[in-house]
Amino acid sequence: MKITLISAKIVPEFHRQIGSELEAFLQYLAIAAYFEKAALPRLAAYFSRQAEEERGHAMRFLQLLVDNDAEVVIPSIPAPEGEFRDAEHAVTLSLERELRVTEEIHSLLRLARQENDFTSEAFLHWFVKEQLEEVSSVDQLLKMIQRAGNQRLLLVEDFLARPHPTNLAKGEEGEGG
């Protein structure tokens, strides 16, 4: 017997969201490579970690579809932006992407509510909190880069190397790269 607890209407929207999360995964890989090439290893590590998180987000949606015996479709992913004027440009792009994804999550949640799809609604609550964390972390990083200026990014590197109680340093503990 096929057991599906999520609404049929939301399934294609979840497919689209898998694409969006994978798009973010690729974009953050490209940004990590950019910082690696600029000899800014802490910034590179920050974006590598972000990339891994995005992959994890895509996997969560995928698993929800599998658990519901729903159709799994992974859409084709556009190539990420590979060239950046400077650090501020790369991080601004990340913040814009996070804000866009937040909107996407909110409209998925609206649809789940319209459909009385409580399973999807509960599933999406985790993402609502996650987006707040990510938007705030990237926003802090952007402010820091703007304050330091593109010429003094070693100050930002220095900050990222320190243990810090904010989201920005999330996952820094036991930092090995």
Q: How far is CA 113 from CA 21, 106, 109, in A?
A: 22, 11, 6
Query: Which of 31, 44, 57, 160 is close enough to bind Fe ion by CB under 5 A?
Result: 57
- Return the residue nearest Fe ion (CB atom): 57
Of residues 129-168, those binding Fe ion (CB under 5 A): 134
User: Could you tell me if 82 and 27 are in contact, meaning their C-beta atoms sit under 8 angstroms apart?
Assistant: no
CB of 134 to Fe ion, least distance (A): 4
Query: Which of the ranges 4-12, 49-57, 158-166, 167-175 carries the binding residues for Fe ion, by CB under 5 A?
Result: 49-57
What binding mask, one character per residue, do residues 83-122 give for Fe ion by CB under 5 A, x or -? Answer: ----------------------------------------
Closer of 49 and 89 to Fe ion (Cβ):
49
CA distance 85 to 68: 44
d(CA 43, CA 3): 44
Task: Report the half-sphere exposure of 62 (CA within 13 A, side-chain side).
Answer: 14
Give residues in contact with Fe ion (CB under 5 A).
21, 54, 57, 134
